[in-house]
Structure 1
Amino acid sequence: MIAKYKLLLQGGALVVLVLLGFGVGWSWQGALGESALDKANKAHSDTLGEIARAGQRQLQDQQALLIAERERMQALDTKHNGELEDAKQENERLERLYSGADDERKRLRIAVKVARADAVVSETTGGSSMGDVAALELSPEAGRAVWDIRKGMIEDQAKLRYFQELERERQRQSNGQ
């Protein structure tokens, strides 16, 4: 019976030794696994840091380009708004001169050339021959309308120049990138 207990004791010791070996092996592999995992985590962290720094540099470059573009557009706006204001002031100055003039000088006269189709009318009314210059006088209302038209033309031309230069600037930038 002692042999039976001895065998049982040896079997139990063997199971304990196997379990102990298994536990030691498990710990050993865990330590090695943790070391490999630590290395992988460090490599991953380093890679993420590099990506973040590259993204930050790219963002800073984009912001610098955006700021430079805004400054160019602001300069363009300032230039063309100044030109438009100068043209408006000149038109207003001419309108004031026109408004302050006497009736004779207020009359707006336009020199016109008589076309061939109008030659018959000129001959019957005692006008000069074809191609000669004749004077056409506008009413005060029509004269005022001419000033308004002139003002609109000045503004439209200034806006057109602005948009053309704006488009040229955008084309330059898109070709430069």
Structure 2
Amino acid sequence: MVLLGFGVGWSWQGANGEAALDRANTAHANTLGEIARAGQRQLQKQQELLVAERERMQALDQKYYGELQDEKADNERLRGMYAGADAERRELRIQVRIARADAVVSETTGGSGLGDVAALELSPEAGSAVWDIRAGMIEDQAKLRYFQQLERERQGAD
């Protein structure tokens, strides 16, 4: 009888043990599934943020590239007007302030003092170079505005 009790107890314990093991395996599988789903949600959220960031960057690029192209076209228009002008209009004159020590004083111009204004006339080659310098300045200013906006948006996103 003891053996019969022992056998029944053993079977009952085995059945309980298997049921407990099955419950543990099910709980473990459920936990792993939940972890996988959470990881998938997080990955999808990161991908959505990446796509949104790329779209924002593309819009920013298009905006500033378009502005740069407009400014370059305007510079080329002015360069064309300059090149097509008659000789008198093609001469670029710049008013400059000169210090007394730098002034070249002749009998026709008279004396000059600090802050006097004189006209400086550029050669045709130098006048033409002004448009190249202006084009470089336009590009530099456009790039600076672009990078400043990029940094403002980056700081706003942090």
TM-score normalised by length of structure 1: 0.78
Q: What are the ranges of 5 or more consecutive residues in structure 2 without an aligned counterpart?
A: none
Aligned mates of 1:36, 1:83 — CA distance in 2: 70
SS at structure 2 position matched to 1:126: coil
Partner Cα distance (1:35, 1:142) in 2: 94
> Equivalents in 1 of 2:63, 2:37: separation in Å?
39
Q: Secondary structure at the match of 2:118?
A: strand
> Which moved further from structure 2: 127-136 or 83-92?
127-136
**Change in CA separation of 1:38 and 1:125 when aligned onto 2, cut-off 3 Å:** farther
The Cα shift of 1:155 comes to 0.3
Which position in structure 1 is the counterpart of 2:108?
126
Aligned equivalents of 1:23 and 1:159: distance in 2?
A: 86
- Give how far 1:117 is off: 1.1
1:101 aligns with 2:85: yes
1:35 aligns with 2:35: no
The change in CA–CA distance for 1:23 and 1:77 in structure 2 (over 3 A counts) is: same
Larger displacement relative to structure 2 (21-30 or 34-43):
21-30
1:6 corresponding residue in structure 2: none
Task: Give the aligned residue type for 1:106.
Answer: R
Q: Distance in 1 between matches of 2:32 and 2:134?
A: 64
2:138 pairs with 1:154: yes
Q: Taking structure 2 as the reference length, what is the TM-score of the superposition? A: 0.87
User: Which residue of the partner structure matches residue 48 of structure 2?
Assistant: 64
Number of residue equivalences: 156
Higher helix share: 1
Deviations 1:112-150 (A, max 9, x none): 12212124x32x453243233221111111112111110
Which structure 2 residues correspond to residues 19-30 of structure 1 after superposition, within 5 A? 26-30=10-14
- Aligned match of 2:32 in 48, 55, 68? 48
Identity %: 74
In 1, Cα distance between equivalents of 2:8 and 2:60? 77
Q: Over aligned residues, Cα RMSD in angstroms? A: 2.1
Give the superposition deviation at 1:25: 5.2
Residue in structure 2 matched with residue 14 of structure 1 by the alignment: none
Separation of aligned partners in 2, 1:160 and 1:98? 28
Matched residue of 2:119: which SS? strand
Report the Cα distance in structure 1 between the residues aligned to 2:49 and 2:152, rounded to whole angstroms: 17
State the AA in 2 paired with 1:57: R
1:167 equivalent to 2:151? Answer yes
- Structure 1 unmatched ranges of 5 or more: 1-16
In the TM superposition, structure 1's runs of 4+ consecutive aligned residues that sit over 6 Å from their partners are 20-23
Q: CA deviation at 1:109?
A: 1.2
CA 1:125–1:34 in 2, change beyond 3 Å: closer, same or farther?
farther
